[in-house]
Amino acid sequence: MEDTIFDKILRNEIPSEKVYEDDDVLAFKDINPKAPVHVLVIPKRKRQRFSEYRNVESDEAGIFMKKISSVAHSLGLDESGYRVIFNCGPHGGQEVEYIHAHILGGKKLIWSAG
């Protein structure tokens, strides 16, 4: 499996602005934010793409979803709302081959599917 920038962030080999960490996930600020709040959440158990989740145990995927929701809550976004995005593969615009959820918020987001 390709070693990515997010593997290095997880191993603390390169710095990141962490906003949450536990045994299952790490959340850190996106280096090139597309909204006032732009946080990336990665599972510590590496998966490369969202498409792999069809083959994983429900618990693993479910825990990841719960943690993404908890991170958004801890960022104070529940009332105003936010967007969660998984880019998957070339057509999805995925640049880093380590599954990650984008949490975007802090303003009214426009919708563009590309």
- Cβ pair 21, 68 in contact under 8 A: no
Which residue of 30, 50, 56, 69 would you call a contact of ligand 5GP, by CB under 6 A?
30
Residue 93 found at the interface with ligand 5GP (CB under 6 A): yes
- Cβ pair 85, 99 in contact under 8 A: no
Residue 16 found at the interface with ligand 5GP (CB under 6 A): yes
Give the residue numbers annotated as catalytic, written as ranges.
100
Site for ligand 5GP in 31-90 (CB under 6 A): 31-32, 40, 87
Return the closest-CA partner of residue 96 out of 107, 88, 105.
88
Residue 5 found at the interface with ligand 5GP (CB under 6 A): yes
Stretch that binds ligand 5GP, among 24-32, 43-51, 53-61, 67-75 (CB under 6 A): 24-32
d(CA 53, CA 42): 13
- Rounded to the nearest whole angstrom, what is the least distance from the CB of residue 5 to ligand 5GP in the complex? 5
- Specify the 3-state DSSP secondary structure of 38: strand
